[in-house]
Amino acid sequence: MIKNYLLIALRNLKKNKAFSFINITGLAIGMAAGLLIIQYVVFELNYDNFHTKKERIFRVSQDRFNNGKLSTQWAGGAFAVGSKLKANFPEIEDFVKILGNGSVLATYQDQKLVMEKTYFAGNSFFNIFSYALTAGDPKTALLEPNTAVITETVAKKLFGKVNPIGKLVSFSYNEPIKITGVMRDFPVNTHFKCDVLMSYSTFLKFVGPKNDIDNAWLNDGALTYLLLKPGTDPKTLEAKFIPYINKEYSQYKANGEGAIYHLQPLTSIHLYSHLMLEAEPNGDGKSVYLLAGIAIFVIIIAWINYINLATARGIGRAKEVGVRKTLGSAKLQLVMQFLLEAMVLNGLAILLAIGLIIVCLPLFATLSGQYLSLTLLIAPAFWLAVIGLFILGSFFSGFYPAIVLSAFKPVDVLKGKLTTSLKGIMLRKGMVVFQFSASIFLLIGSLTVYRQVSFMEAQKLGININQTLVIKPPLAKVDSFYRSMSGFKTESLRDPAVKSVTVSTSVPGEPVQWNAGGIKLVGAPNTAAKQYRIIGGDYDYLKAYNAKLIAGRLFSKDYSTDPHAVVFNRKAVEQIGFTKPEQALGKQIDFWGQVYTITGVVENYHQQSLHDAYDALIIRCIPDVRGNVSVKVSTSNLPQTIAILKAHWKEFFPGDEFNYFFLDQHFNEQYDADKQFGQVFAAFTGIGIFVACLGLFGLVSYTIVQRTKEIGIRKVLGSSVNGILKLLYKDFAVLVIVAFLVSAPLAWYASHQWLQTYAFRINITWSLFAAPFLIVLIIAFATVSYLTVKAALMNPVKSLRND
């Protein structure tokens, strides 16, 4: 019997080639799109899942308060957190402190290598995390001062085939560092990655015992991870921290200082943490789940196509059902037959979907910016998803048509009295409304993302970052940094193509890492102290970036006191307590015991992307500041200008690499994740609409076949082609309008929620809804028109020949 069912299924596929093609293609595209998004979602959700102790690992995040008001939220907190909490709470099994060290220049014999991501880490690092060592002892690799662990990639670049264990390397410090371990390159799906891990005891040796920084509660910057003992409830432990932390901060109560510490589960960091001092740019949980929703939409749209086409074609197979029932077939046997047909069709669609995935995977990886390769085809999770889609697809897309087709009464069928039920018609129309609703919803969302990203890229920043080449900070040792940098500036400015050269601790497009609390007006009580972001720049920094001066003056070499001068932005002026910029001029501030005079106020500008609100910035004049070198250049002969700058750099920093980037590109890289999300959203919106149109095309084509004689009679009675078109258009226009009324409120809510994550955002206007509505309406009409016009132009004699 199963063989007979399969034979009938294959004959029907062959007999109805157009419907079979539409069904298989629609299902395959929907499944391929769904599987690709599912892989993306699974990859994002599996960040840090490879750690064997992941359920017990928590990062300690910090909310810093000034006088009871939240001032900053940090991924890293005070240096004292790890050791103090471990000593006072027996629920903590182990802890590790990790401290960023920026870029370093590594030198071994004649080999030099600039490493961007270097950290100090405590010796418990390899006990807590599951980052594997290929050489060295994980128990002692980070124990002693002046020791470090490097990745396999760094080891190959620096040492070649030589065993690096025990070798001494210069890391831009006075004392050489001994390599005590080599670890595998960090997995792509981890929130923490680095090139070099130096022992935390090396850091303590550098700063010396004088500051006792390891037990400091007001020095922030250390990422602290705790390993809790089995069975510990993190929420209960977090609540226990509060009275203890309050007691520790009571000694700073006069300064208004306070903090609350939270336990972040390791596996939630990537998608749900966007704090200061994050080790890596993190993802967005809302966006990931939204894409998961798109995957479900696309797959359901494909299944609806099958249901609509199978039930619409039911009349064509009514006599087959009638004959089978007359010859003794039971309803259950007919249900099994049609379910088996659905399985055959879904099976073919799955095979085609896998082929589409193989072809499209590189394109999708580029589009999404996600690390995906063909290795996913051997992953158990992928095949579980395939099997799940096949089973669910066969059942959900085949069950209803099987029930409908098997319910035909043989007497009515064989007498030709079969009529289409009102319930069946309404269900098919309801499913078409769902398809259109999903399409309009996705289009509104895609347009919202596109407009928000365009808005952010087009928005004026308040400073000029165009034609700016930024050279990364020099790392090699020089006798006098100030003298070398002054020489580089002087020689570079001799070139007419170089407009300005300035040095600063931060450049636009990145977070200001220098965060300073306890700043207040001289004479103000300690409770008035606030936190600010600090940028150290030379005399030319604000001028080079064309910061808009709204009060006072900018830094100048004409004023010998400017090394003790500061410039505030408007937000900082308001935060310190003035209502007008002019009121701040000449006032003195207490900056960690040093007195600085406010000489100018600049307008707020976007230091970072429009995701973030304006920061309260203080710019300090530091003539010998070490940092990024910003060079304003003419683009008329850029390669020659870069070559000249490189030659001057080698002259004054002979042991250093000339590493540079263009600031406008660097700034817009902040929007890469938004762009990639928008591209993925738009691509799968297009796929969803295409699959919906395939179903609509099939449904309309069958409707036209059913109404061919009606159209012929109408033409004989005098109806024009336009009149027939209007008749058929009206039905589908109503469906699109209903779909719009269903989807618009949902799309507004989803867009509103998504836009709330941006400090600067577009307004939700009527055009965000009108354009998608018109697009779907035009697509639907175009789909309907192709077949309707063909039927309307047919000679009525031909359509009525058989009656």
User: Would you say residue 276 has pLDDT above 90?
Assistant: no
Q: What distance in Å separates the CA atoms of residue 157 and residue 145, rounded to the nearest whole number?
A: 24
Residues 23 and 82 in one domain: no
Mean pLDDT, the chain, as a whole number? Answer: 86
Mean pLDDT of 467-495: 90
Contact 429, 734 (CB under 8 A): no
Q: What distance in Å separates the CA atoms of residue 600 and residue 584, rounded to the nearest whole number?
A: 8
Over the range 665-696, which residues count as b (16 or more CB within 10 Å of their CB) and which as e?
ebbbebbebbbbbbbbbbbbbebbbbbbbbbb
Note the pLDDT tens digit of each residue in 502-542.
999 999 998 898 888 889 999 998 888 888 999 999 999 99
User: Would you say residue 782 has pLDDT above 90?
Assistant: no
Mean pLDDT of 479-486: 88
The candidate with the shortest Cα–Cα distance to 303, out of 32, 37, 27, is 27
User: Would you say residue 286 has pLDDT above 80?
Assistant: yes
User: Would you say residue 480 has pLDDT above 90?
Assistant: no
Contact 682, 292 (CB under 8 A): no
Angstrom CA distances, 600 to 111, 540, 553, 568, 615, stand at 47, 14, 5, 6, 17
Q: What distance in Å separates the CA atoms of residue 656 and residue 641, rounded to the nearest whole number?
A: 19
Residues 296 and 241 in one domain: no
- pLDDT score recorded for residue 796: 65
| Residue 117 within a domain | yes
Mean pLDDT of 237-251: 92
Q: Which residues pair with 597 in a beta bridge?
A: 565, 588
Note the pLDDT tens digit of each residue in 315-334.
556 566 666 666 666 667 76
DSSP string, 248-286: HHGGGGGGTEEEEEEEEEGGGHHHH---BT-SS----HH
Q: What is the pTM of this model?
A: 0.84
* Of the residues 665, 692, 726, the one at which a domain ends: 665
Note the pLDDT tens digit of each residue in 124-141.
999 999 999 999 999 999
pLDDT class of 366 with cuts at 50, 70, 90: confident
The range of the structural domain enclosing residue 536 comes to: 468-665
Domain total for the chain? 3
pLDDT class of 629 with cuts at 50, 70, 90: very high
Q: Which residues pair with 358 in a beta bridge?
A: none
Amino acid at 153: T
Coil, strand or helix at 186: coil
Burial class (CB in 10 A: 0-12, 13-18, 19+), 661: middle
Residues 232 and 294 in one domain: no
User: Would you say residue 451 has pLDDT above 60?
Assistant: yes
| Residue 798 within a domain | no
- pLDDT score recorded for residue 448: 93
| Residue 462 within a domain | no
- HEC per residue, 85-118: HHHHCCCEEEEEEEEEEEEEEEEECCEEEEEEEE
| Residue 770 within a domain | no
| Residue 289 within a domain | yes
Q: What distance in Å separates the CA atoms of residue 39 and residue 379, rounded to the nearest whole number?
A: 10
**Alpha helices, H only, 560-615:** 570-576
| Residue 544 within a domain | yes
- pLDDT score recorded for residue 320: 65
Residues 85 and 63 in one domain: yes
Coil, strand or helix at 412: helix
Query: Helix (H) and strand (E) counts for the chain?
Result: 24, 23
| Residue 329 within a domain | yes
Angstrom CA distances, 317 to 321, 334, 595, 697, stand at 6, 12, 91, 20
Residues 372 and 499 in one domain: no
pLDDT class of 603 with cuts at 50, 70, 90: very high
Q: What distance in Å separates the CA atoms of residue 445 and residue 233, rounded to the nearest whole number?
A: 39
The winner for highest mean pLDDT among 40-44, 144-148, 421-425, 426-430 is 144-148
Amino acid at 353: A
Non-local CB neighbours of 28 within 8 Å, separated by 6+ positions: 348, 349, 350, 352, 353, 356
Q: What distance in Å separates the CA atoms of residue 329 and residue 322, rounded to the nearest whole number?
A: 9
- pLDDT score recorded for residue 799: 60
Alpha carbon 292 to its chain centroid, in Å, reads 14
Half-sphere exposure of 316 (CA within 13 A, CB side): 14
Non-local CB neighbours of 232 within 8 Å, separated by 6+ positions: 56, 91
Contact 191, 277 (CB under 8 A): no
End-to-end CA distance of the chain: 38
Burial class (CB in 10 A: 0-12, 13-18, 19+), 296: middle
Residues 225 and 171 in one domain: yes
Residues 357 and 478 in one domain: no
Give the residue, 596 or 43, on which the prediction is more confident: 596
Note the pLDDT tens digit of each residue in 35-63.
888 888 888 888 999 999 999 999 999 99
Residues 34 and 69 in one domain: no
* Of the residues 229, 251, 272, the one at which a domain ends: 272
- pLDDT score recorded for residue 560: 92
* Of the residues 665, 681, 700, the one at which a domain ends: 665
User: Would you say residue 497 has pLDDT above 90?
Assistant: yes
**Alpha helices, H only, 313-379:** 318-326, 331-368
Q: Which residue has the tokens 């058929």?
A: 728
Burial class (CB in 10 A: 0-12, 13-18, 19+), 243: exposed
Residues 473 and 581 in one domain: yes
Q: What distance in Å separates the CA atoms of residue 540 and residue 522, rounded to the nearest whole number?
A: 27
pLDDT class of 375 with cuts at 50, 70, 90: low
The candidate with the shortest Cα–Cα distance to 22, out of 734, 681, 783, 731, is 783
Lowest mean pLDDT among 206-220, 441-455, 498-512, 732-746: 206-220
Residues 163 and 241 in one domain: yes
pLDDT class of 5 with cuts at 50, 70, 90: low
Residues 221 and 237 in one domain: yes
- pLDDT score recorded for residue 674: 87
**Structure-token pair, residue 96:** 């590790």
User: Would you say residue 293 has pLDDT above 90?
Assistant: no
- HEC per residue, 622-641: CCCCCCEEEEEECCCCHHHH
Residues 482 and 594 in one domain: yes
Mean pLDDT of 342-354: 86
Contact 451, 765 (CB under 8 A): no
DSSP 507: -
Strand duo 660-662 + 588-591: pairing: unpaired
| Residue 573 within a domain | yes
- pLDDT score recorded for residue 408: 57
The candidate with the shortest Cα–Cα distance to 289, out of 297, 300, 280, is 297
Coil, strand or helix at 239: helix
pLDDT class of 696 with cuts at 50, 70, 90: confident
